[in-house]
Amino acid sequence: MGRTGTLCNCFIASFRTPISICRRKNPLIPWRKLNLMAASMDPSDTKTYQQNVLVMRHGDRLDNFDPTWEKTADRPWDPPLIQNGLHRAFGTGREFRTRLPFPIHRVFVSPFLRCIQTASEVVAALCSVDDDPNAKSSNDVVAIDPSRVKVSIEYGLCEMLNKTAIRIDVAPKDGIFRFDVPQLEALLPSGTVDPTVEPVYKELPQWEETVRDARSRYERIIKALADKYPSQNLLLVTHGEGVGVSVSAFKEDTNVIEVDYCAYSELTRQVSLKNESFSAGNFEVLIESGQTGVTYIAE
């Protein structure tokens, strides 16, 4: 069954793997043109188009390459990316920009540092004014156009807050994960943060949420963000389990077995706009095993 609502303005391969491109009969209407189109349309007219949602894992995290890092870290449960992780994230952003047959309008990101840094690199690549093919990271970007993409931090995309994902010996002793949102927003490319966006999840899940609850959360946040911005294409930067759910929850009898760094899935659905309201069909997963980095098996 599809979804209806009111229009709101409000374990995978690296990026080098070929991106599966599906040529759509009804391309997404650019957001800037939607209001102009609506002004000239008869209110009773119905416009149908495609909405696309990419769900991406963060880049290479430091603690998996330097096991001594966490011994002196203030936040051992929140590692940054290694240099190669930054490069991989930037490269993935360039792949999105050059190969996808649609633009990305909004990016939503988990508050964990590795995801913030990943989103920052991807957005820099998407917003670069002079697309230098030799650029390796955001440090090589001379200027950006912040109007191209808007970014928001979303707690609903956070890591699974349980011992399956975060070892008990590195988790906060009181079970409270603290994030300084303004400080994290300052790490994103200047001018790209949208201060008007209200997060879907106002706070983090409780520590020791079950794996089942975390998977349900990922499925809900994907649907909720897509419904909140039904006329825009979205990129959700999250964690491995979130990418896995983005496939298994929307592709029947499918089990994801591996999600590598900076891997992503691609979802699409048909959306109809009429009288400032929308209806949407079910998401279709536009990947095959081994493409866009998602490895899965049919049960």
- C-alpha closest to that of 195 among 8, 10, 6, 31: 10
Structural domain boundaries of the chain?
47-298
pLDDT in tens, the chain (299 residues): 566 564 443 333 333 333 232 333 344 444 334 443 444 445 568 889 899 999 999 999 999 999 899 999 999 999 999 999 999 999 999 999 999 999 999 999 999 999 999 999 999 999 999 878 889 999 999 999 999 999 999 999 999 999 999 999 999 999 999 999 999 999 999 999 999 999 999 999 999 999 999 999 999 999 999 999 999 999 999 999 999 999 999 998 888 989 999 999 999 999 998 887 899 999 999 876 556 777 777 66
Predicted confidence at residue 18, as pLDDT, reads 30
Q: Give the pLDDT confidence score for residue 189 in this predicted structure.
A: 97
| Both tokens assigned to 31 | 């957001």
> Tell me, what's the pLDDT at 20?
32
pLDDT of residue 19: 29
The CATH code belonging to domain 47-298 is 3.40.50.1240
Looking at residue 42, its pLDDT comes to 59
Q: How confident is the model at residue 274, as a pLDDT?
A: 85
Sign of CA dihedral 191, 8, 27, 249: positive
Q: How far apart are CA 86 and CA 118, in angstroms?
A: 7
Q: How far is the C-alpha of 41 from the C-alpha of 243, rounded, in Å?
A: 38
pLDDT of residue 247: 94
Neighbours of 47 (CB within 10 A): 16
CB distance 231 to 34 below 8 Å: yes
pTM: 0.86
How far apart, in whole angstroms, are the C-alpha atoms of residue 230 and residue 239? 23
Mode of pairing for the β-strands spanning 254-258 and 295-298: antiparallel
